[in-house]
């Protein structure tokens, strides 16, 4: 498939990288871009050589939100009737391998929501996160009112959604929205190092860890703990558990087979 709104490449044959590429609109997320992003991530997910993915933007903008020009004239019927926004934004939730958001510049509205749909966020020191939809007469529409409070707590999420203020990278790390902050010129290098580390981990354990952490957001504590326990038990059916523990005890490097 050829892409126009994104660029797609691989690194070391095992990390899939998608770069959002609508610089003229600060990577505003339109249907074409979201369709292409979904297709690219699904292709990487299906490729056995790929162990981790990165979604990134430009130095100035990860993404400045859903494309306002595409929705300015929408009626309720256009929006609700066509399942606008959520239709092609849900694909990323179906991806089973880890997806890292490497964020520099603006991650606003749908851009912040897209970053939060990824498994974790590595931010450049110039990153700015926000849900400014209220300023244009709408509210977040791709999970912002749900994922932001889970990430930073109710008070900061309310503050951001109601006043449209942006959170800088330092505050985002302090608040738990991002996992690490790095210098802008090191963003891809550091994100790639993290992605390669994950890609070299035993694949079945990676899938299970992602699935189990995500379960924490979808269920109560008892259900989540039981889900984790069963996945934990199932790891003992894998080759890589035997190999990992044997290598540890034998003080040697493990040779994982992803099975």
Catalytic residues: 66, 110, 113, 133
Compute the distance between CA of residue 53 and CA of residue 183 in angstroms, rounded to an integer: 20
Q: Does 134 bind ligand CAA (CB under 6 A)?
A: no
Q: What backbone phi and psi angles, to 5 degrees, belong to 2?
A: -95, 145
Binding-site member from 16, 38, 57, 140 for ligand CAA (CB under 6 A): 140
Binding flag, residue 144, ligand CAA (CB under 6 A):
yes
Find, among 194, 196, 204, the residue nearest to 242 by Cα: 204
Which one, 52 or 114, has the nearer CB to ligand CAA? 114
DSSP track, 85-135: THHHHSGGGG--S-EEEEE-SEEETHHHHHHHHSSEEEEETT-EEE-GGGG
Between CA 173 and CA 37 the distance in angstroms is 26
Comparison of 40 and 115: residue with beta carbon closer to ligand CAA: 115
Q: How far is the CB of 187 from ligand CAA (least distance, A)?
A: 18
Q: Which of 5, 85, 117, 195 binds ligand CAA (CB under 6 A)?
A: 85
Shortest reach from residue 154's CB to ligand CAA, in Å: 19
Is residue 129 within the footprint of ligand CAA (CB under 6 A)?
no
Cβ-based nearer residue to ligand CAA, 59 or 136: 136
Cα Rg of the chain, angstroms: 19
Measure the CA–CA gap between 59 and 66, rounded to whole angstroms. 18
Measured CA to CA in angstroms, residue 216 lies from 166, 211, 223, 235 at distances of: 27, 9, 9, 19
- By CB under 6 A, residue 109 contacts ligand CAA: yes
CB of 243: closest distance to ligand CAA in angstroms?
A: 44
Q: Which residue, among 121, 128, 129, has the nearest Cα to 191 in the 3D structure?
A: 121
Minimum CB–partner distance for residue 5 and ligand CAA (Å)? 13
CB of 126 to ligand CAA, least distance (A): 12
| Binding mask of the shown chain, residues 195 to 224, with x at each position contacting ligand CAA by CB under 6 A | ------------------------------
Indicate the helix (H) or strand (E) that contains 80.
helix 76-81
Binder of ligand CAA out of 66, 161, 194, 199 (CB under 6 A):
66
Those residues whose C-beta lies under 8 Å from the C-beta of residue 257, and which sit 6 or more positions away, are 239, 240, 243
Q: Which is nearer to ligand CAA, 113 or 173 (CB)?
A: 113
User: Is 148 among the residues that bind ligand CAA (CB under 6 A)?
Assistant: no
| CA 25/CA 50 separation, integer angstroms | 30
User: By the criterion CB under 6 A, which residues form the site for ligand CAA?
Assistant: 25-26, 28, 64-69, 85, 106, 108-110, 113, 132-133, 136, 140-142, 144
């Amino acid at each position: 498939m050829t892409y126009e709104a994104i660029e797609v490449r691989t690194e070391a044959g095992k990390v899939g990288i998608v770069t959002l590429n609508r610089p003229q609109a600060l990577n505003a997320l339109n249907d074409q871009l979201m369709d292409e992003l979904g297709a690219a991530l699904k292709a990487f997910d299906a490729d056995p050589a790929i162990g981790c993915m990165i979604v990134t933007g430009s130095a100035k903008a990860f993404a400045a939100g859903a494309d306002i020009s595409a929705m300015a004239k929408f009626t309720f019927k256009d929006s609700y009737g066509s399942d606008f926004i959520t239709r092609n934004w849900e694909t990323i939730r179906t991806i089973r391998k880890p997806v890292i958001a490497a964020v520099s510049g603006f991650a606003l509205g749908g851009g912040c929501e897209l970053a939060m749909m990824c498994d974790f966020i590595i931010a450049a020191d110039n990153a700015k996160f926000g849900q400014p939809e209220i300023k244009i007469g709408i509210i977040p529409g791709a999970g912002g009112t749900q994922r932001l409070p889970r990430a930073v707590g109710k008070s900061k999420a309310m503050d951001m959604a109601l006043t449209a203020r942006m959170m800088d990278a330092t505050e985002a790390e302090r608040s738990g929205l991002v996992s690490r902050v790095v210098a802008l010129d090191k963003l891809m290098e550091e994100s790639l190092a993290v992605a390669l580390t994950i890609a070299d981990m035993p694949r079945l354990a990676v899938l299970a860890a992602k699935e189990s952490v995500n379960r924490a957001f979808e269920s109560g504590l008892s259900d989540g703990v039981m889900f984790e326990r069963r996945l934990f038990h199932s790891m003992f059916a894998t080759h890589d558990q035997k190999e990992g523990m044997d290598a540890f005890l034998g003080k040697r490097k493990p040779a994982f087979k992803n099975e």
